[in-house]
Chain A
Amino acid sequence: MTQPAEGNWQSVSSKLALARRITLLFAFVPVVVVVGILWWWDAVPDFVAPTGAVIALITGIWAWWIIGRRVRSFGYLERSEDLLVRSGILFQRLVIVPYGRMQLVDVTAGPIDRALGITSVQLHTAAATTDAVIPGLTPDIAAQVRDRLALAGESRNPGV
């Protein structure tokens, strides 16, 4: 990806990859249970369970690897008039939100995120499609980002 916007792109915490991999493992538990039961019960032809296991394993490894790359792809850049957020490996995107269009800034953390000490910052504009999320920030950085954004938004928003 070329970078026409030069500047100090910030990346997100690598703990985010850990958090997402834990979520991935949770998603895999039911798959493993189902495959195990089928195997144990002889409910299906012999080749089905091993084939299923191999497919699941390959998908899992691939997902494990892509999560790492995807987390590294996250970046944000605070410029003087707008915020840039980029992300994605397979589907790449870059969102530019002018500070004057921000309506509110959310800081959220799920249970896994909290356990690992990361939070995500989301910008909301009047458009539902804006989709500007910076996940995987440490709480103090997230708070700083939120405060800076809120300040920048306030000074530019004419109070619509």
Chain B
Amino acid sequence: MLNEDGPWRVNPISPLVHAARTVPAWVALVFVAAPAVGFVWGLLTILLSVFVIATLAGLVALFQFVNWQRLTFWFDDQGDFRVDSGVLTRQQRRVQLSRVQAVDVVQPLVARLFSMAEITIEVAGTGESRVRLSYLTRDEAHLLREAILTRARGATPEGTASVVPEETTVLARVPWPTLAMSLLLRTSTAGLLLLTVVILAFAIRREGWSGLGLALITGGVPILTVFAEFIRYYGFTVSEAEDGLRLRFGLLKTENRTIPAGRVQAIEIVEPLLWRRKDWVRVRVNIAGVGKASDSSSGSNGGETLLTPVATRAEALVLIAYLMPTLHVEALDWHSAPHRAWRRSPVQFTMLAIGWTDSFFAARRGRVTRRTALIPISRAQSVRWTQGLWERALNLASVHLDSTPGPVRISGLHLDAAYAKTVVFEQAERCAAQVQS
């Protein structure tokens, strides 16, 4: 496909794949609608249903065929990637290759049956900045990905047509029992499951069966979440890539994601209480242009900022060293919050601490779920000192280093007020002295 110059189209069978993806919805619709309008299930009804489903899917295919005719993409003279699409509303998009954050090859289940893949291009900026091209054959998708990435790096695109990505060195792989176990032992999941047990015990003892509905929610929600995340992160593999780390995961839908080392702004090591015996950690990152503020909740949608859902500490340190070679977490000298901080944070006060090296700043918090946030000082955007009412009463204050939007917050909480102020001025000086990388 990429041998000649563009414009190119996506694969001609794409309309069929699009149509096939809607079939389950039509089946469900017919199953609900048929009895509602008074049909009794019989041979005739089934034949009729099949006919209706085929017609609906056919209409989708027809519509998508027109779409397919109108969808073209090519590299223009300025070296940007262009996508023209749309039937009623013509859309012309120009992707500035210098601003491309990641190019991912995704294989949804139905597409995989046709051995097709779709390609998504993430571009820095806000709003609807993701470009999606579906569908291409697997090989085409990888070729296009390589072509875009090569051009984005400013390299000459010679020989792109022959480069099929080989499997590179695998740095970490999450076995499925570990993934399942870790998801079950997460603090929120374990807490809700425990609560369910308590509710059930009460319900049985008191024979107050009204508690069962509640148990269904407290027990059902975490199980569904665990299930969804298990399917999403199944077979999580981290391998070496030319420009960072390459992630690959998913059971029904294989997702590929690149974490460009140069764009990682901050790293957080998360250790839930029940993981510590196994020495497991989860690692999240802030990436310039990718994270949104809403990712700060530790929901299941943080896939874009996850480095690994679970890994042993040693494995995690290897991955971190890959992204930030000069960082040595174990060598940090921690400066703790004073003992009186227990009156502000009675649970986590023993864990509150900050530390730094020549090029890094780190802050630690959380007792039940321990969080260690790390930021290269050259990537800190600003430094803040804050003091709430209760903190002032105890002569405490907090230190924050601001990073780009994402799940990682670097906050040294409830330190001695005067000490915090000294630290803030020291870090600000170091921050200003280091040119932003």
User: Residues of A at under 8 Å CB distance from B?
Assistant: 2, 4-5, 81-82, 90-101, 125-132, 156-158, 160
Contact = CB atoms under 8 A, between A and B. Distances in A.
B313 interface: no
B168 interface: no
Q: Is the interface of A mostly helix, strand, loop or mixed?
A: loop
B382 A125 contact: yes
B432 A94 contact: no
A2, A91, A94 — which one has the most chain B CB atoms within 10 A of its CB?
A94
Contacts of A92: 386-387, 392
Nearest to A125: B381
Given A94-B384, A158-B436, A129 B428 contact: no
B380, B384, B425, B431 — which one has the most chain A CB atoms within 10 A of its CB?
B384
Interface stretch (B71-79, B95-103, B178-186, B399-407): B399-407
B424 A129 contact: no
B383, B409, B421 — which one has the most chain A CB atoms within 10 A of its CB?
B383
A81 B432 contact: yes
11 contacts: A5-B425, A81-B433, A92-B386, A92-B387, A93-B387, A94-B386, A96-B382, A96-B424, A101-B380, A101-B431, A130-B381
A2 B382 contact: no
A2 B424 contact: no
Contacts of B392: 92
A98 B422 CA distance: 16
Interface of B: 288, 293, 380-389, 392, 400, 402-405, 409, 418, 421-422, 424-425, 428-429, 431-433, 435-436
Nearest to A98: B432
Given A4-B422, A93-B384, A126 B404 contact: yes
A96 B431 CA distance: 10
Contacts of A125: 381-382, 402
A131 to B, nearest CB: 7
A100 B436 contact: yes
A128 B388 CA distance: 20
A97 B431 CA distance: 9
A156 B382 CA distance: 15
Contacts of B418: 2
Contact of B428 (A98, A127, A157): A98
Contacts of B422: 4
